Structure 1
Amino acid sequence: KFGRKFEDVSKLFDHAAHNGSNYLNGHCFVSLMLCVPIWSNRRIAYLAVPLGYRMRQKKQSKLELAAAMVRQVMPSFASQKNVIILCDSWYAKKNLACIVDEYPNLDLICNARTDSVIYDLAPQPTGRRGRPAKHGERLSIKEDFTLSAEKIGDYYMGVR
């Protein structure tokens, strides 16, 4: 079906459209999957098990929705040694990235957006009057990070 008279329908940008309109009417869903490594055909393959789907409504952003879903399932993974959130560059923002600080066994892997700014850690408080610094010096990917010699797919790995 198609139309504008559905509950919570909104105008969404279509990244896959190569001709015609780049916008369409539809619903926006955020999904959370558990990827389990399995041995298949003499190699490791990953089985994706859905943990949850939520339809985005106007009152909550996709980032807030994803963060709430991760917070909901993390108590079930408290006994696991390491849990990794793997997401695309759209989710590499503070709302989701700050969850890593809430759980000691949680890490985040994502692409950095081109409009992202990377800062060093905040310096220690000086003891002087005024607001303490929220972050350190602004970092440059080209000058402050060592990029891997070889590409991994279309990407270089940056290490500091």
Structure 2
Amino acid sequence: MAVDDTLFKRRGKKVFGAAWQHDGAATGPRGLGRGTCFVVLGLVVDLPFLARPVCLPVMARLWRPKQEVSKVDIAASMIRLLTACHHGRRIHVVADAAYHGKALRDLPAACTFTTRLPASSVLFAPAPPRTGKRGRPALKGARLGTPAQLAATADFAPARVTRYQRTDTVYLAEVTCLW
């Protein structure tokens, strides 16, 4: 699955939810466009007659600026609904760097979420086992550092990936940690 948002350009006084919003496809220095913004959850599939994967929209919800729910909250609620509808199946979700936050902490166990962390994020080791002593148990382990600090000490392994209609060798490292 993939999550992203899109701006549907609309003008006029009677267009519900229309506002000046970020537009990734806008030309010019400001990157703004007027319209309605939808958060879209799509199924990424390989079709036999195409050389690249295609994303087929499954769910979409309107996001309005200056409301109590964020785009990340909307995405998390759609992922929870999809996971509940497909009970027993593993769901892997990818998103761009705009989709990270506390709303993604309580996703179902059958769901994984992959996004790029901010460079300023600090990562910690998983929580140590309970000691059996009185008091609140530790919620996180030792500080591991920022993503750049972890990358400097991580062991990278080569892997072949197909992207943009070509196969490349990339180097991957896996670190289990808390953000």
Cα drift, residue 30 of structure 1: 0.3
Name the TM-score, length of structure 1 as normaliser: 0.74
Higher relative contact order (CA 8 A, sep 6+): 2
What SS does structure 2 have at the residue aligned with 1:64?
helix
Summarize deviations over 1:38-83 as a string: whole Å, max 9, x none: 3236x5x423221111011313111110011111111232243x32
- Are 1:38 and 2:47 counterparts? yes
Which consecutive unaligned segments of at least 5 residues does structure 1 have?
none
Q: Does 1:76 align with 2:76?
A: no
Alignment of 1:22-61 (within 5 A): 22-40=31-49, 45-57=52-64, 58-61=67-70
| Higher percent of residues as helix | 1
**Structure 1 residues 112 and 157: CA distance shift in structure 2, 3 A:** farther
* Offset at residue 122 of structure 1 (A): 0.7
* CA root-mean-square deviation: 3.1
Percentage of pairs with the same residue = 25
Q: Evaluate the alpha carbon distance shift between residue 20 and residue 35 of structure 1 in structure 2; reply closer, same or farther with a 3 A threshold.
A: closer
Q: Is the counterpart of residue 113 in structure 1 residue 112 in structure 2?
A: no
Partners of 1:38 and 1:87 in 2: how far apart?
Answer: 21
Question: TM-score by structure 2 length?
Answer: 0.68
Correspondence 1:1-160 to 2 at 5 A: 1-2=10-11, 6-17=15-26, 19-40=28-49, 45-57=52-64, 58-80=67-89, 82-99=90-107, 102-104=108-110, 106-140=111-145, 141-148=150-157, 156-160=171-175
Number of aligned residue pairs: give it.
Answer: 154
Asked whether the equivalents of residues 89 and 110 of structure 1 are also in contact (C-alpha less than 8 Å), the reply is yes
Secondary structure in 2 matching 1:107: strand
Amino acid in structure 1 at the alignment position of 2:60: Y
